[in-house]
Amino acid sequence: MLTIDSLSHRLSSYLEPEQIRAVKRAYYYAEQAHTGQYRRSGERYITHPLAVANILASMHMGYQSLIAAMLHDVIEDTSIGKEAIAKQFGKPIADLVDGVSKLAKIEYESQAEKQAKNFQKMAMAMAHDLRVIVVKLADRLHNMRTLGSLAPAKKRRIAKETLEIYAPIAHRLGMNDLRIEYEDRCFTAIYPLRASRLQAALKHVRGNRKALVENIQDAIENRLQREGIPSLVIGREKHLYSIYSKMRNKKKSFKEIMDVYAFRIIVEDIDTCYRALGAVHNLYKPMASEFKDYIAIPKINGYQSLHTILIGMHGVPIEVQIRTKEMDELASRGIAAHWLYKSVNGKDHGGESQARVDRWIQRILEIQQHAGNSLEFIENVKIDLFRDEVYVFTPKGAIVELASGATPVDFAYSVHTDIGNACVACRINDRPAPLSQPLQSGQKIKIITSESSQPNPNWLNFVVSAKARTAIRHYLKTQRHIESVELGRRMLSRALANNNLSLEAITIDQLQYVLDLNKLATRDDLYQDIGQGKIAAISVVQGLHPNAEQTHTSAPITVDSPDGLLIKFARCCRPIPGDQILGHFSTGKGIVVHRETCKNIGDLRSKGENINAIDWSNNVSGEYYTDIRVEVNSERGIIASLATRIAETRTNIEGIQVAERDAEHSVITLTIAVKNRKQLADVMRRVRTMRSVGLVYRGKN
C-alpha cells in the first residue's frame, strides 16, 4: 500500500531533503483538510492526492507540482480557500492548485456547459503554468484507475470525457504512455465486452507469434552487432484501443492488423539512428512509400524517430522505429520529460518540445479570444486536438505544421490572422490553386492578399483548423454587427424623415424610453435589432411620436454590392442591377432581395411579412448570379458550344443543368455571373444567334 513514507523514499532519488519535507507538509495539511471524507470505494480521501503525487513522481516532476497534487482537491472539496493555501505554501503553488480545481460551485445549464467551462478555466491556467495540465492529467489517470466503484453510466461519461479531451491533450504534449493507458481504460469502460474479447484474442495470438518475433529480433540484433552499432532492440506490442481503432476506421480484420510485427531500436545518438536505418534496410527490403523521418521534421508534439516498414521472411511486414534514448524518453513522457532533461550538461534538451507546446497554447489562447462562448471554445479545441499533421513550407523555406486535410486558408491563418482575413488566392509549388485544395507534406505555399478582401463564409465548409474556424466566425460576427448597426441607422433615419423628423432631434430621454421599451442597453443595440429585422423602424418612430404615420418612400434602402452579410439575393428570382426590386426583412437575417415580379413576394405579402421598397445604388458594383434558359435541338457538343459563346462575352458560368423535353429537344439552364441587365442582354443576344438555339429567356419564379 502506498504511504507518504514510501513516496518520500521514492522522491529521495531526485529531490533535495528540504523539498521532500515540503511535500510531506503538504500531505499532512491535505490529510487534515480532508478529514472525514471518503472515496466511493470506502478508502480515505487522502489516498487519491497521494496516488496523484506518486504518478507525478514517476515522471520526476518537481516538488511544487507534487505539493499541488497533494492539495489539488482542497479548494474544491473543503472550506479552505486559495488565500489560505497561498499563505501556507506561497502564491505559485496556490495558483497551480486553483488552476487544477474545477468550477464546482457554479450552476450550469448542462453537463456539456460545465465540462466546457472547467476546461476553459484549466486552459487559461495552463497558459500561465504548463504544470497545471500535467497535474490534471495525473489526477484524471488515477480517477480512471479507480472507476470500478462507480455506476456504469457515470463510468461511461467519465471515460468518454477522458477519451475526447484528456487523451488527445496527453498526445499533444507527447505523453504517450499516459495516452495509451487512458485509451485502453476508456475502451474497457465504454465497451467492456468488446475489450474483453479483443484482450482474449490478443492473448491467444501472442503465444502463436512468440517464436517468429524472437527470430526477427535476433536477426535485427545480429545485423546491428555485425555493423558495430550498440543498440537495444525491443518488440513493440499494439495496445487494445489502437487495434480496435484500426479495425473500425480502416475496415481491417484483427488478423490483418496482427500480421504486422513491430520493433523499436534504441541507439546512442542521431548519427547512429541513420546508420541503424541503413543496416536494417540491408537486412530486409524496405517499402519505399512507408519511410518517415520524424527526426529531421518532428511531429507537432515534439516526437522524434525514424519510421520504416520492411518486408521480412515469407512477406511478413515489420514496422521499425529507430531513435535515441532521449527521444524514447520524450516519446513516453513528452513535456514531462522537459523538466527531467532541462539541466543535463547545461543544455535545455526539452527546449524545442517546450517551444512546440508554447505554440499550441498560444493557439488555444487565440481560439479563446475569438470563441463566442465556452461550448464553441471546447468544440474548436477538440478539432485542434484530434488531428494528424502535414508539413508545408513558406516561400522563404520555413516549415509550418498543419492539420491533415488543411487548405491554403488554414495555412494563411496559421501564419497570421490578418493574412487569413485578407487572403484572396494562393499558389502551391508556384502554380495557382483553389483555396479549398487539401495540402500535402512538402508543398510550398504562397498566399496572395488584398487589403479590400474579407473572409468568405463559404470557407467554413472546408477549413479544418480551429484557429481558422474561430477567426472566420469572429470576423463575420463582428462584420455582421457593424453592417446591422449601419443598416438599422439608415432605416430609422429614413422612417423618421418620412414623418419630418431626424435622428439628431431625438432627445436622450426619448432614446432611453425606446431602449427601455425594447429592453435594450445602447443606441447601437437598437440599430442592430432594426437592421436584423427584429424591430420595425416605424414602430420605433411611433414609440417616439405616437401620431407618426407608417409611410414609405420609393427607396429607403439602397444596394451597392453583392458581398454584404445582411443583404442576400433570393435564389427563386435572382435579381441583378437594373431590375425593379423589393426587400423582405427576415428576422435575425437582414434583407432578402427579390424582383418585384417574383411570385414569392405576393405570398409573403399575403402572410403579412415585412416588405419594403429598396433600390440599387448609383455606384452599384460586383457580379450577381442569374439564370438563363436556352431551348436547343439536342446534338453532340451543344453544351461546349454554348459555354464557348458565353465565354466570348467574358461572362463566368457558375452552373449548368440539362433537362430533356423529348428525344430531339432539351432545355439548358445556365447560372451566370453578370454586372447588370445590359451584360445579361449581351449574353442572351449572342446565344440567340446560335444555329441550334430556339428560345433564350431569363429564369423567373
Catalytic residue numbers read: 76-77
Position 118, amino acid: N
CB half-sphere exposure, 234, CA atoms < 13 A: 13
Q: How far is CA 683 from CA 420, 489, 650, 665, in A?
A: 36, 39, 9, 21
Q: How far is CA 682 from CA 547, 628, 678, in A?
A: 51, 12, 6
Cell of residue 356, nine digits:
512546440
131 close to 96: Cβ distance less than 8 angstroms: yes
Distance CA 70, CA 21 (A): 13
Closest CA relative to residue 408, chosen from 388, 394, 387, 398: 394
Alpha helices by DSSP H, listed for 173-300, are: 176-190, 192-226, 240-249, 254-258, 270-283
Contact residues for 534 (Cβ-Cβ < 8 A; gap 6+): 587, 588
Q: How far is CA 214 from CA 206, 262, 264, in A?
A: 12, 12, 14
135 close to 56: Cβ distance less than 8 angstroms: yes
Please identify which residue in the block is written with the cell numbers 512468440. 210
User: Quick one: DSSP state of residue 628?
Assistant: E
Give CA 296 to chain center in angstroms: 26
Cell of residue 213, nine digits:
518475433
CB half-sphere exposure, 113, CA atoms < 13 A: 6
* DSSP secondary structure, 187-219, as one string: HHHH-HHHHHHHHHHHHHHHHHHHHHHHHHHHH
Distance CA 159, CA 40 (A): 17
Angle, CA 461 vertex, CA 458 and CA 465 arms, to 5°:
115
The SS3 of residue 393 is strand
The H-or-E segment that residue 645 falls in is: helix 638-647
Beta bridge partners of 16: none
The SS3 of residue 178 is helix
For 203, other C-beta atoms within 10 Å of its C-beta total: 9
Handedness of CA 586, 590, 595, 596 (dihedral sign): positive
Distance CA 42, CA 500 (A): 79
For 503, other C-beta atoms within 10 Å of its C-beta total: 13
Position 311, amino acid: I
For 504, other C-beta atoms within 10 Å of its C-beta total: 7
Supply the angle between the helices 17-33 and 82-89 in degrees, to the nearest 10: 150
Closest CA relative to residue 403, chosen from 395, 412, 411: 411
User: Quick one: DSSP state of residue 444?
Assistant: B
Beta strands in 519-637 (DSSP E): 557-559, 567-569, 581-586, 590-595, 611-616, 624-633
Cell of residue 326, nine digits:
532521449
Distance CA 269, CA 410 (A): 36
Closest CA relative to residue 570, chosen from 558, 557, 556, 581: 581
Q: How far is CA 354 from CA 20, 56, 100, 173, 256, in A?
A: 26, 18, 20, 9, 38
Beta bridge partners of 693: 632
The SS3 of residue 270 is helix
